[in-house]
A and B are shown apart, each in its own frame.
Chain A
Amino acid sequence: MERTPGVSTTVLGADEIILNMGPQHPSTHGVLRVKLKLDGEKVIGSECIIGYLHRGVEKIGENRIYAQFAPYVDRTDYVAAVSNGLGYCQAVEMLLGTEAPPRAAWVRTILTELQRIASHLLWLGTHALDIGAITPLFYTFREREEILKIFEKYCGARLTTHAFRIGGLLYETYDGFEEDVKRFCQDLDKKIAEYEDLLTENRIWVERTRNIGVLSAEEAIDLGVTGPVLRASGVKWDIRKAFPYAAYDKFEFEIPTGRNGDTYDRYLVRMEEMRQSRRIILQAIESIPEGPIMARIGKVLKPPPGEVYHSIEAPKGELGYYIVSDGSVQPYRLRIRPPSFINLEAFDKMVRGHLVADVVAIIGTLDIVLGEVDR
């Protein structure tokens, strides 16, 4: 496959200018700085400058005991904290050679799928806002609020939840958990239809997103993108199906895919993913098994020496944890494979040849969170 080589953003031709966007720019969703090389309004090259939010999360992980690090992972992708927690806890469980009991797996699945919906809702609201559609933001935040309320009732926190523990769950579900989740899911279909009414056939929306930031399946795989970005390019791959974890192998759901790999398809894929998440939750909520919520893992976690790579399908893509244990209470090496970071790498490829106004659409469609890009 032919790759387009990088374009220098320091050497300029006669008609070319450099435009700096960010790091303090509302549509960069955090502190992303993009250097755009322009010919008139056309982007001919770009460079992402990241690291403004780098906190050395991996280094911190190597200097904390396993359980202490769990709240830190919430602060990488801070709009999908529950998913991060699931990935990390399961990775450590695999390292220990144990597994959460079924009841915990069920509750984890439900909360993680709620988190996926919440993350996609936040993405939809802000992405539409970037492109100029203000209304969806108010609707999506209304529904997201309901999910955050469920989290708050469950574990007391709304954003950085630390909902799971290594080995299972700390908290039993609260009285009325099932009803709350069911009530939310019952309305969700109608709500998603409302968003679709606002956008899917909206002419401005379609013009601004169709054929913008196209990635072919081959390019997407070469650039390593995962999650909805990969699926919109037509690759039917989802870790929940490929390597089922938690209780995903017990439920029926489809993997939505797109055909053109453009911003519009990525929008459609994420909308359908919300419906599929709802489907998973409704199946799971009816069948939560009774039993313990915590595996017996002991007070001090000392995984046997060795290493493990475990990844989950986070709302943004493949979120992996590679942990090397030397048998002590701290990880010897803790690597987070961040979906946002690797998806953002495709930005340069996607933005070439488009207009400056499309840049915000492409940043939005990648659904990046800078906390996770920079770690």
Chain B
Amino acid sequence: MTDDEKKEQPSPEKPAEALPDEEKRPVEAAKPAAPAPKPAAAKPPAKAAPPKPEPLDNELVRRLRARFGEAIGDATTDRKQAIVVVASERLLETCQYLRDEEKFNLLTDLTAVDWYDRRPRFDVILNLYSFQHNQRLRLKAPVDDTCPSVTSVWGTANWLERECFDMFGIRFAGHPDLKRILMPDEWRGHPLRKDYDILKQDTDWVRENLGIESGQ
């Protein structure tokens, strides 16, 4: 990466902060005191500035809105990280555009969040990265139980979508080989759903395949 590209990076995950003066503090002075005073914490308590999601309105979001209109929902930053909500119907097109035109050529991660009471129930989360702009972008697509597959855009999505299907039961339309990846093929239920209790298991499978009554 060139230096120019580095300068462009919008918000490094760690704010460039000068070293606190702790280093220069005369340590010797504090020593003679018999009960050594506890060194003051470097930062005020976290409550001082609770990070709030803020609306995001940059060039990229404007371009996305101009092109996909209503399909682009809220754009926010949370903890300085950009999040854009995309309607699942146009997710594939949006991804294609983001990879080809905006150079988000690495799909870092694809996962889901189960909001249980909400409709649509799940958020499919895509974490994208652009080498060219050294920039991350998180896409959120609210879906009920089917989501278009992005395997045609990024090869990585193949296993990630299989894992997402395995854990949440979200079907990825257009996936070449959608089957379980971590759980046994015959397992019933999707463990990361919120209505799947942590002690729950497929007792029939356990009995049949492990020859025991319970894995707990």
The residue that B134 contacts in the complex, of A242, A291, A332, with Cβ under 8 A, is: A242
Contact B78 A54 (CB under 8 A): no
CB nearest neighbor in B for A53: B182
Per the 8 Å Cβ criterion, residues 56-106 of B in contact with A are: 78-79, 81, 83, 105-106
Give, as a whole number of angstroms, the nearest-CB distance from A282 to chain B: 19
What residues on B are CB-neighbors of A367 within 8 Å?
none
A97-B50, A242-B134 given; A102·B127 CB < 8 A? no
What residues on B are CB-neighbors of A222 within 8 Å?
105, 154-156
Contact A101 B41 (CB under 8 A): yes
Please give the number of chain B residues whose Cβ is less than 8 angstroms from any Cβ of chain A in the complex.
Answer: 61
Contact A320 B22 (CB under 8 A): no
A6-B176, A223-B156, A374-B182 given; A333·B43 CB < 8 A? no
Per the 8 Å Cβ criterion, residues 323-339 of A in contact with B are: 324, 332-333, 335, 337
What residues on B are CB-neighbors of A311 within 8 Å?
108
What residues on B are CB-neighbors of A243 within 8 Å?
9, 12-14, 134
A59 to B192, CA, bound (A): 6
A330 to B63, CA, bound (A): 37
A345 to B16, CA, bound (A): 36
B27: Cβ under 8 A from any A Cβ: yes
Contact B42 A295 (CB under 8 A): yes
Contact B113 A221 (CB under 8 A): no
Give, as a whole number of angstroms, the nearest-CB distance from A122 to chain B: 24
A146: Cβ under 8 A from any B Cβ: no
Number of A-B contacts (CB under 8 A): 165
Contact B78 A101 (CB under 8 A): no
Per the 8 Å Cβ criterion, residues 292-327 of A in contact with B are: 292, 294-298, 304, 306-311, 318, 320, 322, 324
A102-B20, A311-B108, A345-B158 given; A296·B13 CB < 8 A? no
A285: Cβ under 8 A from any B Cβ: no
Contact B192 A304 (CB under 8 A): no
A298 to B12, CA, bound (A): 26
A51-B182, A102-B23, A374-B182 given; A292·B40 CB < 8 A? yes
CB nearest neighbor in A for B125: A322
A243 to B131, CA, bound (A): 12
A102 to B158, CA, bound (A): 40
What residues on B are CB-neighbors of A308 within 8 Å?
78-79, 81
B178: Cβ under 8 A from any A Cβ: no
The residue that A289 contacts in the complex, of B19, B177, B191, with Cβ under 8 A, is: B19
CB nearest neighbor in B for A373: B182
Of A11-19, A148-156, A233-241, A270-278, the one contacting chain B is: A233-241
A306 to B78, CA, bound (A): 7
Contact B20 A97 (CB under 8 A): no
A51-B182, A342-B159 given; A97·B22 CB < 8 A? no
Contact B43 A320 (CB under 8 A): no
Give, as a whole number of angstroms, the nearest-CB distance from B77 to chain A: 10
Contact B155 A102 (CB under 8 A): no
CB nearest neighbor in B for A348: B158
Contact A97 B79 (CB under 8 A): yes
B44: Cβ under 8 A from any A Cβ: yes
Contact B107 A54 (CB under 8 A): no
The residue that B13 contacts in the complex, of A3, A245, A290, with Cβ under 8 A, is: A245
A157 to B102, CA, bound (A): 46
A309-B136, A332-B113, A342-B160 given; A337·B41 CB < 8 A? no
CB nearest neighbor in A for B127: A309
A246 to B107, CA, bound (A): 24
Contact B20 A320 (CB under 8 A): no
A3 to B127, CA, bound (A): 22
What residues on A are CB-neighbors of B12 within 8 Å?
243-244
Per the 8 Å Cβ criterion, residues 125-140 of A in contact with B are: none
Contact A298 B20 (CB under 8 A): no
A5: Cβ under 8 A from any B Cβ: yes
A51-B182, A337-B127, A345-B158 given; A102·B19 CB < 8 A? yes
Interface 0/1 of A198-230, CB less than 8 Å to B: 000000000000000000000101111000000
Supply 16 further A-B pairs (C-beta < 8 A) apart from A103-B22, A292-B42.
Answer: A54-B183, A59-B192, A94-B79, A97-B50, A101-B20, A221-B105, A224-B107, A249-B14, A290-B23, A291-B20, A307-B78, A307-B83, A324-B113, A342-B160, A345-B156, A375-B182
For this complex, 7 residue pairs linking A to B, each with C-beta atoms less than 8 Å apart, are A6-B177, A56-B198, A237-B1, A241-B1, A290-B22, A307-B83, A310-B13
Which B residues have a C-beta under 8 Å from some C-beta of A? 1, 9, 12-14, 16, 19-20, 22-23, 25, 27, 39-46, 49-53, 78-79, 81, 83, 105-109, 111, 113-114, 125, 127, 131, 134, 136, 138, 154-156, 158-160, 163, 167, 176-177, 180-184, 191-192, 198
Which A residues have a C-beta under 8 Å from some C-beta of B? 3, 5-6, 50-51, 54, 56, 58-60, 62-63, 94-99, 101-103, 219, 221-224, 235-237, 241-245, 249, 289-292, 294-298, 304, 306-311, 318, 320, 322, 324, 332-333, 335, 337, 341-342, 345, 374-375
